[in-house]
Structure 1
């Protein structure tokens, strides 16, 4: 069963950072779950990344997760990430390589919450926010505070039309959430991420892709470890509105759809 792997379009700009490794994994996944896990573990052994409590990263089949064990707790304690043969877990694994510090920091906080509060019928506010981050976050790297303010304020015309030239020079978006990446295999206009605004220096935009990811990995992982985290810290970002990510958004009329680019209560100052 291919589980949709054949449908990945590597020409999509939001996949550029993971394309090289992703193509190899895609080929392995199409051959079967065993080949796929072997490919993941070959890369994990070479990279030497660790999970939330310093255990070497590895990948196992979902059915190897012991009965009664929590997913995040198992990863923190053993380093082994239970992985199904589907797109959701494919993109989760990709983020362990694209942003290893961030994934480890998220895992450490999740495991800490589980240690403190146990596993109940609900996750609680902190775990909900951590899960939302892991599943649906988009990094909005910004060297101009006014652009971050425009995003927070639902000022879509400012962000996407008036300041269109700022994209790639003073701001950019990078999809992190693996559930969001799964949705974007079949993109639709209303597809919306939870933007996490990251202040970066102007020199960030002179760096190559690898260096930019390293900067974000360091800054964001430190924030996750040290800051209170709650769901309202995010700003909604309709991802197909990002300039260069969808042909139709070259027309300003694209942003007139209020069902997607909602004004919000904070848009009065735009």
Structure 2
């Protein structure tokens, strides 16, 4: 069933105090204010490195006949529905992760040139999954990867619960649909992860990820992406402080027979 976001002003305030939304309250009035931010406000927040701009998605705009991604590449115009949570969070991702968004757009346009606009390729599906639900994960403890490979969710999120607090596992949310779904506080969130292994310093994962996407080294198939039940991470769901949650939560699915994951990149 397609997710329908709650109306502005009706959302439980607890949603904005819990990850991932608690990390996206700058400027807080975009989420908590009485009024939606305007297209002009979004454009005013663009970093100096961002030449793309947000434009209202109107019928007149869509009459140009261009695909959404082609319009961005050709004119730098990001069609944005006003008063819409999904597109507001997409704009937030463009502002925070401009290089990642730009790399995805370039690869999407390259695939459209090859496939046309009516048929989607495996790389296009992979990139869309990551754009909507993507998470960049940095692991500093390879043992966590073995638990993840086996879908040992109890081990990864309960026995190794402290790993998500002490820096051995860290993540950055990229998928804007994840932020939209988080508006419903008890919703179980599952991300699509690209994983990196790091030593003592795991900084720079976003830049490395953007470069890998731009070079066509990752996101060539949806099966590259690892499911990550984000609701198991401390602070991401109100019930995950109880071991029972990690034994029975619906977001924890067993690994399918024969499913293998690619080796993570090393920072």
TM-score by length of 1: 0.82
Correspondence for 1:157? 154
Cα distance in 2 between the residues matched to 1:91 and 1:59: 12
> How far has the Cα of 1:75 moved from its partner?
0.6
Q: Secondary structure of 2:236's match? A: coil
* CA deviation string 1:123-178 (max 9, x = no partner): 12111111111011122221122212322320112211121111132002332111
Cα RMSD after superposing both structures: 2.3
**Residues 27, 261 of structure 1: CA spacing in aligned structure 2 closer, same or farther, 3 A cutoff?**
closer
Q: Secondary structure at the match of 1:19?
A: coil
* Cα distance in 1, alignment partners of residues 223 and 196 from structure 2: 15
Contact 1:65 1:74 survives alignment (8 Å): no
Write the distance in 2 (CA, Å) between the matches of 1:161 and 1:221: 31
Moved more, 244-253 or 193-202: 193-202
Q: 1:193: which partner in 2?
A: 191
Query: Is this contact kept in 2: 1:142–1:171, CA < 8 A?
Result: yes
Encode CA deviations 1:208-228: one digit per residue, 9 max, x unaligned: xxxx5xx23201101212214
Report the TM-score when normalising by structure 2.
Answer: 0.83
The residue aligned with 2:107 is 109
In structure 2, list runs of 5 or more residues that go unmatched.
Answer: 259-267
- Report the 3-state secondary structure (helix = DSSP H, G, I; strand = E; otherwise coil) of the residue aligned with 1:247: coil
| Mapped partners of 1:200, 1:75: distance in 2 | 33
Pairwise CA distance, 1:17? 3.2
Shift of the alpha carbon at 1:72? 0.5
Match of 1:257 in 2: 248
Per the alignment, residue 70 of structure 1 pairs with 67
Which is richer in helix? Answer: 1
C-alpha contact (below 8 Å) 2:191/2:229 kept by paired residues? yes
Whole-angstrom CA distance in 2 between matches of 1:174 and 1:266: 29
Instruction: Show the counterpart of 1:119.
Output: 117
2:49 is aligned to 49
Structural mapping, 1:235-246, within 5 Å: 235-246=226-237
**CA 167–27 in structure 1, closer or farther in 2 if over 3 Å, else same:** closer
Separation in 2 of the partners of 1:189 and 1:151? 22
User: Does the 8 Å CA contact 2:111/2:124 hold for their aligned counterparts?
Assistant: yes
User: Is this contact kept in 1: 2:188–2:237, CA < 8 A?
Assistant: no
Aligned pair count reads 245
Is the CA contact 1:134–1:178 (under 8 Å) kept in the aligned structure 2?
yes
Indicate conservation of the 8 Å contact 1:14/1:245, yes or no.
Answer: yes
1:3, distance to aligned residue in structure 2 (A): 7.2
Whether the aligned pair in 1 keeps the contact of 2:136 and 2:206 (CA below 8 Å) is no
Is 2:6–2:183's contact at 8 Å kept on the other side of the alignment?
A: no
Does 2:60 align with 1:60?
no
Is the contact between residue 17 and residue 98 of structure 1 (CA under 8 Å) also seen in structure 2? no
